[in-house]
A and B are shown apart, each in its own frame.
Chain A
């Protein structure tokens, strides 16, 4: 469902050019749980942002469901983000002065879903992450792990087919991290494709496939043989 062809991305500032992604070739099929690993600064977040169409790329192509995202208008890209993709950030990115329910409804709003349907779906998502009882709480009244679960609820409320998670457990202690991982695995079992950036080898091992990036390039072994990474 995801296909990256020879994709490159360069960040240009006045002083330097950073080749964040170099000639990436990657295919992800429906239902996979892919763990993206690699050293800091290697381009993991950049890759995820390109996949989420939050970032443009310079060369190559990105096909989503067989369709190139190149040349799509802002409106089409927004719709694509809104309907097909769910985002989970390391920093949760919840809006502090909104209730949990309002936060989760946010992506549904931009899809023009009716108020009652919005609420039903948001509650359902909140139910799934086990926080339905606190729907009227504000993010600051929750622990970090709970906040990340709300962020997950927001990401899945629109029933996306792809979930992009950038170090979703990076800010959490190990117990909470495990809860979040279990939640993601559960979501994956229900058919949602997941790409997750992680630094934790244990978490990476639980994914169905591992992809390693070094210096903007996919390391070959990781791309073609997940076993090779495990052995290394």
Chain B
């Protein structure tokens, strides 16, 4: 089994500042972490490798400091790491991002399974996974809750969360799965894991090594453009009172009753 896992470095706090001119993130002065859903995807990939053998690769696109996220994945047990980094990749929307990500797999091999987090906590779109699958022309399934079994290296049995419940599906490989929070808590590397992983190598690709058409990457290659960003107002002139305040309580109850009646209609 060759499993490719895509991860993204995201701001730790989502209370962020945007550059007023370029409408992109002010990247200085913020702390970063690996997108939480991606860690669930990584854990799932590592468990599969332990069960079926093979290799796990982690891949990321981002500025040079994104190596930190890849180092974390390596210390958790991933075998190889790749960083796609080039100023020409910056400002990409989901289309240009997924195109760029697809180009590395076209060079180094798609493998059997591609895992990505359900969505990233910064952009919140959840679009890169399905778009990546399209660029690679392979099947995808979103919102996967667990990977149950690989059958003869040809098929994978998974459970998918839907509005109606959890469904068991059988999907032909190669496939791309977007992973939601699972029951398997991502492992914490030991000090020894961390020290040992320092020996692993992170392969960095720029646009030249990727042999990619840079008209299709970054801001330039993005069909969508952010033209304005603003902070939403959430004003709460909340009425906070102790339960003993019976007047306030009765006002609240009237409100609740109104909602209750509207709901019945």
Instruction: Decide if A and B are genuine partners.
Output: no
